Structure 1
Amino acid sequence: MDALATGLTFRDATDADVDALVALIESAYRGDSSRAGWTTEADLLQGQRTDPQGVLEVIKAPESRLLTVERDGRIVACCQVEHRDDHAYFGMFAVSPTLQGGGLGKILMTEAERVARETWGATEMRMTVISQREDLIGWYERRGYRRTGETMPFPYGDERFGIPQRADLRFEVLVKPLV
């Protein structure tokens, strides 16, 4: 185990974690606090990234796990892993902005892939990323994900996903074989 992984605790989120998880996810993607890291979407979207109801739904879903990473009793990263037909879906990925760029995201992603393989026998992980996030897509590509060319519309008008700051947002589907 490398030095970064020392002192980290991985576990499934519980109802008691909802407020801390919402705060973490919001801090990683929205507002000025997100600018401390490199995953900010503040120039693309304003408003919320998620809310307590959305996080609780992921925690309660029978074919979903919201993995959390704790350091010194504080949640510092999370991601959703969900079983969908013949693959797993990776989402709700957040690392505390002050810890981004140090390898924690890579460690969590590796754990999520292991969970998908071992829990559901998934042979592929899929995710959706806002297509304008070229730096983030590049980060995923360096970890074995590939662009499929498939896109999905951004849910304009549904402020649960944020308030778009431009009219051309869409999601791009990325995949990785889990072998």
Structure 2
Amino acid sequence: MMEQLRTELSACRLCADRFAATATRHAPRPVVWFRPGARLLIASQAPGLRVHEAGTPFWDRSGTRLRDWLGLDEESFYDRSRVAIVPMAFCFPGYDAKNSDLPPPPICARVWRDRVLSELTDIRLTVLIGGAAMNWHLGRGPGVTERVRAWRDHAPDLFPLPHPSWRNTAWLKRNPWFGEEVLPALKSRVREVMEDA
């Protein structure tokens, strides 16, 4: 069942016209990164251009930062039997005329997200990256900072995080509690889940 779903998702071209109309004029390339048995779910936003080109999630500087936050090396992070990476949109949404990232197309989550998550029955820890993932899993609510600050309300099975983009470096400097309180607890929980897998 999951293999069929992975095959269907890899072949998805729902947004071909939408992507062709962006400044990047690219074709869809779903980045599908999950298998049966995964215990850690990374619920992220959407692939960036480098990920689109590589076909590997978080294959950029934000991935380096995220792996550091989780306390995982590349080999563990990319082990699909233990880590599932399920974004709000599986394809790079493209850039607008000002070279800014376009948001994840909602149709992707509507068509694919419930189907994928229903197949991931062994998840023990979900990491929510960014506002769109938080809204999907927690419902609409306060902003990212408030939700991350309230991480204890969801731990140990769910951790809301800001996006690990280098554009958020100023946010990290303004919110030192994130590194002091959230990351140690997150790394400890990731270690438990990964060792259990």
TM-score under structure 2 length normalisation: 0.31
Where relative contact order (Cα < 8 A, 6+ residues apart) is larger, the structure is 2
Q: Give 1 or 2 for the bigger CA radius of gyration.
A: 2
Which of the two has greater strand per residue?
A: 1
Q: More helix per residue: 1 or 2?
A: 2
